[in-house]
Amino acid sequence: MFTTLTDDTYQNTIADTDDGILICFKKQCPHCKNMEKVLEKFSRKNEGISFFALDSEENPTALADLGAERAPTLVFIKNGAIATTKAGLMNPKELKAFYQAL
């Protein structure tokens, strides 16, 4: 369900997205795996939102540009621009509330 983004593609994809969430992850990071599960649950209840994933360690340009030094960092996209980013964990209820408050 996650479209993979890279240093080459992330900027255009964000510009083309009305409503999306990007997770910047590290391969070995256990917290990232937990956060992906939360996003999966969220996606089932929110059709119409696009989901993306970017490997922070392999894409240093994106990492620096998006301020994603810590993993997981979520990047919330609205109307082709970054609305906000959030590092750390959230549970489904918290994600729902956070998203609705944007």
Partner 1 sequence: MTFSRDKIKNVVFIMLDTLQFNYLGCYGNKVVKTPNLDRFARQSVLFENAYSEGLPTIPVRRALMTGRFTLPYGGWQPLSGDDTTITDIMWGRDMQTALVYDTAPMRLAKFGYSRGFDYVDFCPGQELDHTTFEYHPLDPALKPIDYTSPSMVYDGDGNFIDDDSKQLLDEIGCFLRQQQHRRSDTDSYVAKVASRTEYWLKDRRDKSRPFFLWVDSFDPHEPWDPPSVWEGTPCPYDPDYDGNPIMLAPWTPVEGRISERECEHIRALYMEKITMVDKWIGKVIDSIRQEGLWDETMVVIMSDHGQPMGEGEHGHGIMRKSRPWPYEELVHVPLMMHIPGIEGNQRIKSFVQNVDVTATIMDVLGLADTEDGISDHGMKTYGAEDFQGESLLPLMQGEVDKVRDFAIAGYYGMSWSIITEEYSYIHWLVDESEKNSADCVEGSEKEMSEEMWTCTAGAKVQMPEHNELYDRREDPFQLNNIAKDKPEVAEELLQQLKLFIGELRTS
Residues near partner 1, by CB under 8 A: 26, 28-32, 34-35, 37-38, 56-57, 63, 69-73, 87-93
Q: Angle, to 10 degrees, between the axis of helix 30-45 and the axis of helix 92-100?
A: 60
DSSP summary character for residue 91: -
- Output 60 or 80, the one with its CB closest to partner 1: 60
- Output 2 or 92, the one with its CB closest to partner 1: 92
**Min. distance of Cβ 22 from partner 1 in angstroms?**
16
Please state, in angstroms and rounded to a whole number, the distance separating the CA atoms of residues 24 and 9.
14
